[in-house]
Amino acid sequence: MRDPLGPVPFRTAAAASGAAALGLALTALALPGCGGGGGGGPGGGDADVVVVMAASSLTDVLGEVSASFETLGGSGPAGGPAAVTVVPVLAGSSALVAQLAEGADADILMTADAATMQRAVGNGSVQGEVASVAANALVLAVAPGNPGQVASLEDLSRTDLLVGLCAAGVPCGTLADRALNRLGVEPAVDTRELNARALATKIALGELDAGLVYATDAAASGLETVAASGLGRFANSYLMASIDADPPAAVRVVLAAFEPGGLGAEAMLEAGFGPP
């Protein structure tokens, strides 16, 4: 389900096919550099650079989207300059919103819940229309081989286990706290990580016995999961918006890629995200 946190001015995403997004990308070859990147930005060269600040749970999706734009927009035997170069800046959603408020340069913000996007809209850091692009549910993940013999969500209360959650105030931590509270589980938490990917990594390395992470991070890290009754209904909506109210064409190309049928939307589905 969607995370019902605060009023966010959603826009209705028009359906756009992958072919249409590609056509826009190729058209962007003739456009000047844009927003936070520009022709002389992090990507350099002749490409339009689009800087995307995104929640860490989007690491793999943004990597695939970036590579896809490079491939689809390339020219010449060696691939040549891309029509659009996507430069991901990855961190916890709360950290990204704080960076924008302090003047960080970017073109697009993608957050892992409505509350963090609302803060960015509220403080004026984000002025573009906001769209819901995906959802991500929580799962109970365990260390390789499940050495703690975790069998249910209630085991997170065991003091003999090393238990991890995301930090309070970041989307995955807020969602985990809400889920555990509503399901009547009081966890014996040993660590609070700054983002879901960092938490998944610690579980994968066996530094923790168990924790609540997004389904996509568990899949990306190859984590074993344990069935947890009721947990699957707790999910966050992922939101996306341009920093500027009237973004350059290259930024609109990237935004369109996350509309239904676009390469970004398809990458999210393949990574295990649910529909918005």
**CA 237 to each of CA 1, 132, 267: distance values in angstroms, whole numbers, following the listed order:** 8, 6, 16
Tell me which of 34 and 199 has the higher pLDDT. Answer: 199
Both 177 and 99 in one domain: the answer is no
pLDDT per residue as tens digits for the range 154-191:
999 999 999 999 999 899 999 999 999 999 999 999 99
Strands 48-55 and 191-193: unpaired
Burial class (CB in 10 A: 0-12, 13-18, 19+), 226: middle
Both 154 and 166 in one domain: the answer is yes
DSSP annotation of 274 reads B
How high is the pLDDT of residue 138?
95
Task: Please determine, for residue 70, whether its predicted confidence score (pLDDT) is greater than 80.
Answer: no
Both 231 and 148 in one domain: the answer is yes
Domain count, the chain: 2
Q: What is the CATH number of the domain that holds 206?
A: 3.40.190.10
What is the rounded CA–CA span in Å between residue 92 and residue 248?
26
Which tokens sit at 15?
Answer: 């359906």
- Asked whether residue 204 is domain-assigned, the answer is yes
Quick one: average pLDDT of 138-166? 97
DSSP 241-260: EESSSS--HHHHHHHHHTST
How high is the pLDDT of residue 83?
72
How high is the pLDDT of residue 178?
96
Q: What is the pTM of this model?
A: 0.75
Task: Please determine, for residue 233, whether its predicted confidence score (pLDDT) is greater than 60.
Answer: yes
Both 259 and 229 in one domain: the answer is no
Work out the pLDDT band at 27, boundaries 50, 70, 90. very low
**CA 91 to each of CA 15, 88, 195, 229, 266: distance values in angstroms, whole numbers, following the listed order:** 29, 10, 7, 30, 22
Both 256 and 120 in one domain: the answer is yes
How high is the pLDDT of residue 9?
35
How high is the pLDDT of residue 2?
29
DSSP 47-73: SEEEEEEEEGGGHHHHHHHHHHHHHHH
Percent of the chain with pLDDT over 90: 72
Task: Please determine, for residue 79, whether its predicted confidence score (pLDDT) is greater than 60.
Answer: no
How high is the pLDDT of residue 262?
92
Work out the pLDDT band at 42, boundaries 50, 70, 90. very low
Work out the pLDDT band at 32, boundaries 50, 70, 90. very low
Both 58 and 192 in one domain: the answer is no
Do the beta carbons of residue 110 and residue 238 sit within 8 Å?
Answer: yes
For the ranges 77-81, 146-150, 226-230, 257-261, the lowest mean pLDDT is seen at: 77-81
Both 193 and 250 in one domain: the answer is no
How high is the pLDDT of residue 39?
41
**CA 175 to each of CA 64, 87, 167, 186, 254: distance values in angstroms, whole numbers, following the listed order:** 26, 28, 10, 14, 28
Which tokens sit at 125?
Answer: 């850091």
How high is the pLDDT of residue 30?
31
> What domain range includes position 224?
137-235
**Cα dihedral 133, 137, 138, 144 sign:** negative
Find the Cα–Cα–Cα–Cα dihedral 100, 102, 103, 109, rounded to 10°: 0
**Cα dihedral 200, 202, 203, 204 sign:** positive
Both 154 and 224 in one domain: the answer is yes
